[in-house]
Structure 1
Amino acid sequence: MTVFLLLYLCADASRTDCQVFPTQQWMGDTAYEQCLAAVPSLTKALTATNRTRHRFVCEIQTDDAKPAEEARPRFIHQSFRM
């Protein structure tokens, strides 16, 4: 299994205008757990303002996915408004 740590850099807290950057990659049976373990310290390193705008996401790549250099992470935005 291959897991990518993705950084979503967003212009504002609504996260409607974001750019996605792969920042790290793990391979193996514990790849997802290693990625999840890295997220809290990286999030804590962001300023309080940036914590509301940017976020780190662990994404599992399937074996049939393109190599990391060719893969373009997908951003799925869901908005719930009342």
Structure 2
Amino acid sequence: MTVFLLLYLCTDATRTDCQVLPTKSWKGDTAYEQCLDAVPGLTKALTATNRERHRFVCDVQTENPVEEVARPRFIHQSFRM
């Protein structure tokens, strides 16, 4: 199993416009646990404002290479005037 630690860089706290960046990866039976162990320290290192905007996520990969994970994901948004 391969696990990627992804950083979601978002423009605001709504997290509707985020760029996803892979920051680290682990392989093996304990990969997910290793990733989860890294998240609290990295989150704590962010400023309070950035903790509201950005987040770290552990993502288990089975077949997709990191290039596919790194592509920004577009979210349909509706705007009212």
Structure 2: how far apart are the matches of 1:38 and 1:72? 19
Residue 15 of structure 2 corresponds to: 15
* Structure holding more helix per residue: 2
Q: Percent identity?
A: 72
Give the 5 Å matches for 1:20-59: 20-59=20-59
Normalising by structure 2, report the TM-score.
Answer: 0.83
Superposed CA deviations along residues 16-70 of structure 1, whole A, max 9, x for unmatched, are 11000000000000000000000000000000000000000000001xx2322x3
The alpha carbon displacement at 1:76 in A equals 8.5
Number of residues of Structure 1 aligned to a counterpart in Structure 2: 74
Q: Which runs of 5+ in 1 are unaligned?
A: 78-82
The code of the aligned residue for 1:57 comes to V
> Over aligned residues, Cα RMSD in angstroms?
1.8
